[in-house]
Amino acid sequence: MEQTFGNNYDHLVTQRFFRRWWRVLTIVAVAAAVVSLIVALLIKPLYKSSAVIFPTNSNRLSKAIMDYHYSLDFMDYGIERDCEYAIQILSSKRMQQAVCEHFNLMEHYAIKGPNPLFKLEKQYRSNISVKRTEFLGVEIGVLDQDPQWAADIANYMAEMYDTLCHEIHHDRAVSAANVMNGVVASLEQQIDSIAATAGNTAWKQTLIADKCEQLADLQRRAVQTNVDKETEVSYKYLVDKAVVADKKAYPKRLLIVLAGMLGAVVVAIFGLLVFAKKEDELVAEK
């Protein structure tokens, strides 16, 4: 079979090739479509539900309420930093563990055999995604064979986000409160010691006044820290609650069939080209 390349390529070569092999290519395409359709029908459909949240500003609630000079509002929407924090928490191992335990995903995903935890994490990461939206929101997307489960998991993660945020802030507030309580006790002892010294000099009164001012500032901060420690607030605005999907998200059967047909036809064309070249070489030898 004579072939030319470059600018002198003869399109009649292509026409002759397809006129010769169109029946074979048609059979390959039809067979590939049937096989692809069967495979697509065997794949269990997955349904997707999504919840969208806006993380709130990470400013301290106590300072926003109790500090007159504090200019930032904890009611504001979060900035990019808060969005990144939210994605990290929603994608964390603690969130994964909470979701897997609450919904018993090991059993739900029918995970058996060796390395079950590895398989569970792989399935979890495959079915659950967390990503930032265009306007600094966070979308929690869940795929599942049961549409109700997909919606329940997405909504649970949105609720659990507040729980994990509160645990983080509570732990930090407890640590800060312990440090402040120690410093307050130390300042009180210093004031008592200075007051117990003999004499009533101006220097002594000035020193006691300075120490009392420091003590008052620390006591005010301690009160704010205790408010942060004891108060539970929401760290998000729930923009869109996940709802039960009524249409599958995966698989796209038409795309599977088209991809299967195209792949099979391309492979067949290359195979036939090789066969035709070998045939021409044998004819030339004769």
Q: What is the mean pLDDT of each run of 10 residues along the chain (286 residues)?
A: 51 79 88 86 87 76 48 55 90 95 94 91 94 90 94 95 86 76 81 76 81 80 70 80 88 82 89 79 66
34 with 53, same domain?
A: no
Q: Give the model's pLDDT for residue 206.
A: 82
- Same domain? For 166 and 266 the reply is no
Q: Domain containing 196: what range?
A: 47-240
pTM of the model: 0.67
Asked if residue 246 is part of any domain, the answer here is: no
**196 and 257 inside one domain:** no
Let me know whether 166 and 269 are in one domain.
Answer: no
Q: Which two tokens stand for residue 201?
A: 């000099």
Helix axes 11-42, 253-285, angle to 10 degrees: 140
pLDDT at 127: 95
The reply to whether 267 and 231 lie within a common domain is no
Domain endpoint, select from 240, 262, 277: 240
Asked whether residue 26 falls in the same domain as residue 71, the answer is no
Domain CATH for 171: 3.30.1890
Does residue 166 belong to any structural domain of this protein? yes
DSSP state of 76: S
The answer to whether residues 23 and 109 belong to one domain is: no
Q: What is the pLDDT of residue 77?
A: 56
Shared-domain flag, residues 183 and 277: no
Give the other-Cβ count within 10 Å of 45's Cβ. Answer: 15
Nearest to 1 by CA among 270, 27, 24, 12: 12
* List of residues 6+ apart from 44 with CB closer than 8 A: 145
Same-domain pairing of 102 and 216? yes
Classify residue 93: in a domain, yes or no.
yes
In this structure, is residue 117 part of a structural domain? yes
Q: Is residue 1 part of a domain?
A: no
Q: Does residue 18 share a domain with residue 67?
A: no
Q: What b-and-e string marks burial along 69-82, b requiring 16 or more CB atoms within 10 Å of the CB?
A: eeeeebeeebeeeb
List the one residue out of 270, 267, 255, 269 whose CA is nearest residue 36: 255
Looking at residue 70, its pLDDT comes to 45
| Residue 72: predicted pLDDT | 46
Query: 192 and 161 in one domain?
Result: yes
pLDDT at 1: 44
pLDDT of 8 reads 58
- What pLDDT, on the 0 to 100 scale, is given for residue 65? 47
26: in domain: yes
Q: How many domains does the chain have?
A: 2
Residues 79 and 166 both lie in one domain: yes
With respect to residue 245, please indicate whether it lies within any of the assigned structural domains: no
Distance CA 117, CA 105 (A): 11
